Chains A and B, each alone.
Chain A
Amino acid sequence: MTITTSPIAEAVGLTGASKAYGAGAQAVTALDELTLAFPAGTFTAVMGPSGSGKSTLLQCAAGLDRLTSGTVRVGGIDLGGLSEQRRTVLRRERIGFVFQAFNLVASLTAAQNVELPLRLAGRRPGAAAVRAALAEVGLADRAAHRPAELSGGQQQRVAIARALITRPDVVFADEPTGALDTAASREVLGLLRTAVDGHGQTVVMVTHDPVAASYADEVVFLRDGRIADRLSGAARMPGRAEQIAGLMARLEQR
Chain B
Amino acid sequence: MIALAAVRGRAASLAGTFAGLTLGVALIAMTLLVHVSAQPRTPQRLAAAPVLVHGPVAPDAAGVGSGVRPWAATDAAALADRLAGLAGVAAAVPDRSFYAQLVVGGRPVGDAEDAGAGHGWSSAALGGYPLVAGAAPDADGQVAADIATGLAVGAHTTLLTAGGPAEVTVTGLVGGPGVYTSDAAAERLSPGVLVIGLLLRAGADPEAVAAAARDAAPAAIVATGEQRAALEPVQQAKTRWLGTQLLIAMASLAVFVTVFVVASTFALNVTQRRRELGLLRTVGATPGQIRRFVLGEALLVGAAGGVAGALLGTAAAGPAGGLLVRWGLADPGLQVRPQLLPVLAAVAVGVGVALVGAYAAGRRAAKVPPMAALREASVEARVMGTGRWLLGGGALLLGGFLALRTATAAADERVNSALFAAMALTAAAALLAPVLVPPLVRLVSWPLRGTRGAGPMLVRAESLTAARRTAATAAPVIATVGFAVLLSGMVSTMREAYPAGQAAKLAGITVAVPDGTPGLTEAAAGGRSVLPSRVYANGLSIAAFGTATGPVSVAAGVADALGVRVGGTVDVVFADGNTERLTIAKITPDGQVDDDLILQRDLVRRHDPSALAEAVVGVDAATLAGLPGVEVLDAKAYADRGSGEDSRLLWLFASVLIALSVGYTGIAVVNTMAMSAESRRPDLAVLRRAGATPRQTLRYAAAEALLVVALGTGLGLAVTVPPLLGMAAGLEQEVGVPVALRLHWPVLVATVLATAAVAVAASLTATRRASGHRTR
Question: Are these two chains actual partners, yes or no?
Answer: yes
Flag whether B275 is at the interface (Cβ < 8 A).
yes
A209–chain B nearest beta-carbon distance, Å: 18
Distance from B169 Cβ to chain A, minimum over Cβ atoms (Å): 83
B319: A residues at CB distance < 8 A:
none
- B374 in complex: contacting residue of A121, A162, A174, CB < 8 Å: A174
Q: Is B1 an interface residue (CB 8 A)?
A: yes
The listed residue (B2, B286, B287, B776) touching A108 by CB distance below 8 A is B2
Question: Which chain B residues lie closer than 8 Å to A108 at the CB level?
Answer: 2, 5, 9
In contact, A106 and B9 (Cβ under 8 angstroms):
yes
* Residues in A neighbouring B6, C-beta threshold 8 A: 107
A59 near B10: Cβ-Cβ < 8 Å: no
Q: Does A85 contact B (CB under 8 A)?
A: yes
30 intermolecular pairs with C-beta atoms under 8 Å apart: A55-B374, A64-B369, A64-B371, A65-B369, A85-B286, A85-B287, A88-B285, A88-B286, A89-B284, A91-B284, A91-B370, A92-B283, A93-B284, A97-B283, A102-B279, A102-B373, A103-B279, A105-B2, A105-B276, A105-B280, A107-B6, A107-B8, A112-B1, A116-B283, A117-B283, A117-B284, A119-B1, A120-B280, A120-B286, A121-B284
B-facing mask of A94-120, CB < 8 A → 1, else 0? 000101011111111000100011011
Most buried by A among B280, B283, B776: B283
Known A102-B276, A112-B1; 16 more pairs at CB < 8 Å: A64-B369, A64-B371, A65-B371, A84-B286, A88-B281, A91-B282, A92-B283, A93-B284, A97-B283, A103-B279, A107-B6, A107-B8, A108-B5, A117-B283, A120-B284, A162-B283
Contact (Cβ within 8 A) B285 A99: no
Least CB separation from A175: chain B residue: B374
Q: Give bound CA distance, A99 to B275, whole Å.
A: 12
| Bitwise interface map of B from 513 to 548 toward A, beta carbon under 8 Å scored 1, else 0 | 000000000000000000000000000000000000
Partner of B287, one of A55, A88, A103: A88
Say yes or no: is B563 at the interface (Cβ < 8 Å to chain A): no
Interface check B445, CB cutoff 8 A: no
Q: How far is the CA of A85 from the CA of B285 in the complex (A)?
A: 9
Q: For the complex formed, measure the closest distance between the CB of A172 and the CB atoms of chain B, giving whole angstroms.
A: 9
Task: Please indicate the chain A residues that have their CB under 8 angstroms from the CB of B276 in the complex.
Answer: 102, 105-106
Contacts of B286 in A (CB 8 A): 84-85, 88-89, 120
Of the candidates A59, A85, A106, A117, the one whose C-beta lies within 8 Å of that of B288 is A85
Partner of A105, one of B279, B284, B288, B289: B279
User: Please, how many angstroms separate the alpha-carbon atoms of A59 and B374 in the complex?
Assistant: 9
Cβ-closest 9 pairs across A and B: A107-B9, A92-B284, A88-B286, A64-B370, A120-B284, A107-B5, A117-B284, A97-B282, A120-B285
Query: Complex Cα distance A92/B284, Å?
Result: 4
Residues of B near A85 (CB, < 8 A) are 286-288
Q: Mark B1-28, 1 if CB is under 8 A from A, else 0.
A: 1100110111000000000000000000
Interface string of A166-177 (1 = CB under 8 A from B): 100000001000
A107/B10 contact (C-beta < 8 A), A102-B279, A119-B2 known: yes
* Contact status B5-A112, CB under 8 Å: yes
Q: Which of A120-179 contact B (CB under 8 A)?
A: 120-121, 162, 166, 174
What CA separation (Å) do A84 and B290 show in the bound complex?
13
How far apart sit A120 and B370, CA to CA, in the bound complex (Å)? 15
Tell me how far the C-beta of A112 lies from the nearest C-beta in chain B, rounded to whole angstroms: 6
Interface string of B262-285 (1 = CB under 8 A from A): 000000000000011001111111
CA distance A242 to B688 in the complex (A): 39
Chain B residues with CB under 8 Å of A88's CB are 281, 284-287
Q: Decide: B374 and A99 in contact? CB cutoff 8 A.
A: yes
Count class of interface residues, chain A: 20 to 34
Shortest beta-carbon distance, A186 to chain B, in Å?
23
Bound CA span A252–B370, Å: 30
Chain B residues with CB under 8 A of A117: 283-284
In the bound assembly, the distance between CA atoms of A17 and B371 in angstroms comes to 19
B2: chain A residues at CB < 8 Å are 105, 108, 116, 119
Contacts of A64 in B (CB 8 A): 282, 369-371, 374
Closest to A92 in B: B284
Taking the closest CB of chain A, its distance from the CB of B370, in whole angstroms, is 5
Q: A97 to B280, alpha carbons, bound, how many Å?
A: 11
Chain B residues with CB under 8 A of A116 = 2, 280, 283-284
With a cutoff of 8 Å between Cβ atoms, the chain B residues found around residue A65 in the complex are 369, 371
Which chain B residues border A120 with CB–CB below 8 Å? 280, 283-286, 289
Tell me the complex Cα distance, A88–B289, Å. Answer: 11
Residues of A contacting B776 in the complex (Cβ-Cβ under 8 angstroms): 101
Is B371 a contact partner of A59 (Cβ separation < 8 A)? yes
Whether A102 contacts B287 by the Cβ 8 Å rule is no
Tell me which residues across on chain A come within 8 A of B370, comparing CB atoms: 64, 91
Q: In the bound complex, what is the Cα–Cα distance between A102 and B10 (angstroms)? A: 17
CB 8 Å contact bits of B365-382 with A (1 = contact, 0 = none)? 000011101100000000
Q: Which residues of A contact B5 (CB under 8 A)?
A: 105, 107-108, 112
A177–B5 CA distance with the chains assembled, in angstroms? 28
Interface centre among B1, B286, B371 (most CB of A within 10 A): B286
Which residue of chain A lies nearest to B370 when distances are taken between CB atoms in the complex? A64
Q: Chain A nearest CB: distance from B445 CB in Å? A: 30
Find residues 167-223 in chain A having any chain B CB closer than 8 Å to their own CB: 174
Complex: how many Å from CA A106 to CA B5?
10
CB-CB under 8 A from A119, the residues of chain B are 1-2
B4 nearest CB neighbor, chain A only: A107
- Tell me, rounded to whole Å, the shortest Cβ–Cβ distance linking B277 to chain A: 10
> Chain A residues near B10 (CB, 8 Å)?
107
Compute how far the CA of A99 lies from the CA of B283 in the bound complex, rounded to whole angstroms: 11
1/0 per residue, CB under 8 A from B, across A47-64: the answer is: 000000001000100001
Complex Cα gap A84–B288 (Å): 10
Q: How far is the CA of A117 from the CA of B280 in the complex (A)?
A: 9
Q: For the complex formed, measure the closest distance between the CB of A1 and the CB atoms of chain B, giving whole angstroms.
A: 18
Which residues of B91-122 have CB atoms within 8 Å of chain A's CB atoms? none
| Nearest CB of A to B375, in Å | 10
Smallest CB separation, A133 vs chain B (Å): 14
> What are the residues of chain A within 8 A of B282 when measuring CB–CB?
64, 91, 97
Chain A residues with CB under 8 A of B287: 84-85, 88
Are A99 and B373 interface neighbours, CB within 8 A? yes
List chain B residues, Cβ under 8 A from A59.
371, 374
Residue of A nearest to B11 (CB): A107
CB distance from B3 to the nearest CB of A (A): 10
What chain A residues lie within 8 Å of B369 (beta carbons)?
Answer: 64-65
Complex CA gap A108/B279 in Å reads 13
Chain A, residue nearest B8 (CB): A107
Bound complex: CA of A120 vs CA of B9, how far in Å? 19
Chain B residues positioned under 8 Å from A102 (CB to CB) = 275-276, 279, 373
A70 CB to nearest chain B CB (Å): 19
Instruction: State the Cβ distance, B287 to closest chain A Cβ, in Å.
Output: 6
**Complex Cα gap A92–B280 (Å):** 10
> In the complex, A64 Cα to B282 Cα: how many Å?
7
**For window 67-95 of chain A, which residues contact chain B by CB distance below 8 Å?**
84-85, 88-89, 91-93
Closest-CB distance, A125 to chain B (whole angstroms): 10
The CA-CA distance from A30 to B284 in the complex, in Å, is 25
From A163, which residue of chain B is reached at the shortest CB distance?
B283
CA separation between A65 and B375, bound complex, in Å?
Answer: 13
**CA of A84 to CA of B369, assembled, Å:** 10
- Distance of B252 from chain A, by nearest CB (Å): 35
Among B281, B284, B286, B370: residue with most chain A CB under 10 A? B284
**Interfacial chain B residues near A97, Cβ < 8 Å:** 282-283
B272 CB, min distance to chain A CBs, angstroms: 12
- Interchain nearest-CB distance for A134 vs B (Å): 16
Rounded to whole angstroms, the CA-CA distance of A107 and B13 in the bound complex is 13
Q: Once bound together, how far apart are the Cα atoms of A64 and B374, in whole Å? A: 10
Q: List, in ascending order, chain B residues with CB within 8 A of A106's CB.
A: 9, 276
Q: How far is the CA of A85 from the CA of B290 in the complex (A)?
A: 12
Centre residue among A65, A97, A162 by max chain B CB count within 10 A = A97
The interface residues of chain A lying within 8 Å CB-to-CB of B1 are 112, 119
A113: nearest residue on chain B (CB-CB)?
B283
Q: How far is the CA of A65 from the CA of B282 in the complex (A)?
A: 11
